[in-house]
A and B are shown apart, each in its own frame.
Chain A
Amino acid sequence: MKKILAFALIVLLLGPTLFAAGQAEKKTGYEIVVVPKDASNPWFVRMKVGVDEYAKETGLNVYQRGTAQIDATLQAQLVQDLIAQGVDAICVVPVDLESLEPVLGQARDAGIVVIAHEGADLENVDYDIEAFSNAGYGAFIMDNLAEAMGGEGLYTTMVASLTNGSHNEWANAGVAHQKATYPKMKLLEQEPRVESNDNGDVAYNVAKELFKKYPNLKGVMGTSSYDAPGVARAIQELGLVDKAFTSGTGMPLDNAELLESGVVKSLTLWDPALAGKAMISLAVKVLDGEEITEPVDLGVEGYTNMMFRKGSSTVLEGEGWIVINADNVYDFGF
Chain B
Amino acid sequence: MDTTRTLLKKLSRRNEPYIFLVLLALCLLIEFRSGQFFSSNNLVDIASALIVPGLFAIGTFLVIISGGIDVSFPALASLSMYATTKYLLDINYQGGVWAAILMALVIGALLGAFNGLFIGYFKLPALIVTLGSSSVFKGIMQGALNSKQLTIIPSGMRNWGTSAIFTARNPVSGLTSRMPVAFIAFVIVLLFVFFILKYTMFGRGIYAIGGSEVSAHRAGFNVVRTKVVMYIMVGMIASLAGVIRACMMQQAHPTNMLGMEMNIIAGVVLGGTAITGGRGTLLGCMLGTLLIVIVENSMILLGIPTSYRSVFTGAMIIIGTGISAYQVMHMNKTHSKRTKSKEAA
Interface residues of A (CB under 8 A from B): 69, 162, 190-191, 193-195, 199-201, 204-206, 208-213, 215, 233, 237-240, 251, 253-255
Q: Which residues of chain B are near A239, meaning CB under 8 Å?
A: 169, 174-176
What is the CB-to-nearest-CB distance from A255 to chain B, in angstroms, rounded to a whole number? Answer: 8
CB contact under 8 A between A191 and B175, given known A200-B251, A212-B34: no
- What would 14 more interface pairs be, CB under 8 Å, given A200-B256, A208-B177? A69-B146, A191-B306, A200-B251, A205-B49, A209-B299, A212-B36, A212-B45, A212-B301, A238-B175, A238-B177, A239-B175, A251-B151, A253-B151, A254-B149
A212–B306 touching, CB < 8 Å = no
Q: Mark B146-162, 1 if CB is under 8 A from A, else 0.
A: 10010110000000000
In the complex, what distance in Å separates the CA atom of A201 from the CA atom of B244?
13
For the A-B complex, the count of residue pairs with Cβ-Cβ distances under 8 Å equals 71
- Is there an interface contact between B151 and A254, defined as CB atoms closer than 8 Å? yes
- Chain B residues with CB under 8 Å of A190's CB are 303
CB of B300 within 8 A of CB of A213, answer yes
- The CB with the most chain B CB atoms within 10 A, among A69, A190, A211, A239, is that of A239
In the assembled complex, the CB of A67 is this many whole angstroms from the nearest CB of chain B, namely: 14
Interface string of B302-314 (1 = CB under 8 A from A): 0100110100000
Q: Which residues in chain B, 104-155, are within 8 Å of chain A measured between CB atoms? A: 146, 149, 151-152
Q: Is B41 an interface residue (CB 8 A)?
A: yes
Residues from 24 to 81 in B contacting A, C-beta threshold 8 Å: 34, 36, 39, 41-42, 45, 49
Cβ of B211 to closest chain A Cβ, rounded Å: 37
Which of A69, A201, A233, A238 has a CB less than 8 Å from the CB of B176? Answer: A238
Is B249 a contact partner of A162 (Cβ separation < 8 A)?
no
Q: CA of A215 to CA of B172 in the docked complex: distance in angstroms?
A: 10
A194 and B256 within 8 A (CB): no
Q: How far, in whole Å, are A211 and B42 apart by their CA atoms in the complex?
A: 11
Return A172 CB to nearest CB of chain B, in Å. Answer: 15
Looking across the interface, which residue of chain B has its beta carbon closest to that of A42? Answer: B148
Supposing A191-B300, A212-B175, A239-B176 touch, asked if A200 and B306 sit within 8 A by C-beta, the answer is no
Contact of B151 with A194 in the complex, beta carbons under 8 Å: no
B42 — which chain A residues lie within 8 A by C-beta?
A: 212
Set B34, B249, B306: member contacting A193, Cβ < 8 A? B306
Q: Mark B283-299, 1 if CB is under 8 A from A, else 0.
A: 00000000000001111
Pick the residue among A191, A200, A251 that contacts B253 (CB under 8 A).
Answer: A200
- Is B173 part of the contact surface with A, judged by Cβ < 8 Å? yes
Q: Which of B249, B253, B298 contacts A209 (CB 8 A)?
A: B298
Q: What residues on B are CB-neighbors of A238 within 8 Å?
A: 41, 175-177
A154 to chain B, nearest CB (A): 14
* Complex-state Cα separation, A215 to B301, whole angstroms: 12
Q: Specify which of A190, A199, A210 lies most central, judged by the most chain B CB atoms within 10 Å of its CB.
A: A199
10 contacts between A and B (CB under 8 A): A195-B309, A199-B256, A200-B253, A201-B249, A209-B300, A212-B36, A212-B170, A213-B34, A213-B301, A239-B169
Q: Residues of A contacting B296 with CB < 8 Å?
A: 205
Is A209 in contact with B176, judged by CB distance below 8 angstroms?
no
Say which residue of B34, B36, B169, B256 sits within 8 Å of A201 (CB atoms): B256
Whether the pair B176, A237 counts as a contact (CB closer than 8 A) is: yes
Taking the closest CB of chain A, its distance from the CB of B308, in whole angstroms, is 11
In this complex, the member of A190, A200, A206, A210 whose beta carbon has the largest number of chain B beta carbons within 10 angstroms is A200
Assess whether B226 is interfacial by the CB under 8 Å rule. Answer: no
For B, the interface residue count at a CB cutoff of 8 angstroms equals 35
B84 at the interface (CB under 8 A from A): no
Q: Which of A194, A200, A213, A255 contacts B36 (CB 8 A)?
A: A213
Question: Does B279 sit at the interface, judged by CB under 8 A?
Answer: no
The residues of B that contact A162 with a CB separation of less than 8 Å are: 306-307
A211:B306 contact, CB within 8 angstroms? no
Tell me if B250 and A233 are in contact (CB < 8 A): yes
Partner of A210 from B174, B245, B300 at Cβ < 8 Å: B300
Give the one of A200, A204, A238, A254 with max B CB within 10 A.
Answer: A238
Residue of A nearest to B297 (CB): A205
CB-CB under 8 A from A191, the residues of chain B are 300, 306
Q: Is the CB of B175 within 8 A of A211?
A: yes
Contacting residue for A200 out of B174, B249, B298, CB 8 A: B249
Q: Report Cα–Cα, A60/B178, bound state, in Å.
A: 57
CB B117 to nearest CB in A, in angstroms, measures 32
- A200 nearest CB neighbor, chain B only: B249
Cα A254 to Cα B41 in complex, Å, equals 28
* Chain A residues, CB < 8 A from B151: 251, 253-255
The reply to whether B178 and A237 form a contact with Cβ atoms under 8 Å apart is: yes
**How distant is B139 from chain A, measured CB to nearest CB, in Å?**
15
Q: In the complex, which residues of chain A have a beta carbon less than 8 angstroms from the beta carbon of B177?
A: 208, 237-238
Closest chain-B Cβ to A91's Cβ sits at a distance in Å of 24
With both chains docked as a complex, state the minimum distance between the C-beta of B297 and any C-beta of chain A, in angstroms: 6
CA–CA, A69 and B297, complex, Å: 39
Q: Mark B242-264, 1 if CB is under 8 A from A, else 0.
A: 00010001110100100000000
Nearest opposing residue in chain A for B293, CB measure: A205
Alpha-carbon distance between A182 and B344 when the two chains are bound, in angstroms: 70
A79 vs B297: C-alpha distance when bound (angstroms): 49
B215 to chain A, nearest CB (A): 43
Contacts of A233 in B (CB 8 A): 250
Contacts of A212 in B (CB 8 A): 34, 36, 39, 41-42, 45, 170, 173, 175, 301
Give complex CA distance A233, B169 in Å. 17
- Closest chain B residue to A243, Cβ basis: B174
CA gap between A210 and B175 in the complex, in Å: 12
- Across the interface, which residues of B come within 8 angstroms of A240, CB to CB? 175
Chain B residues lying within 8 Å of A195, measured Cβ to Cβ, are: 306, 309
Nearest residue, chain A, Cβ from B45? A208
How far is B251's CA from A253's CA once the two chains are assembled, in angstroms?
12
Residues on B with C-beta less than 8 A from A200 are: 249, 251, 253, 256
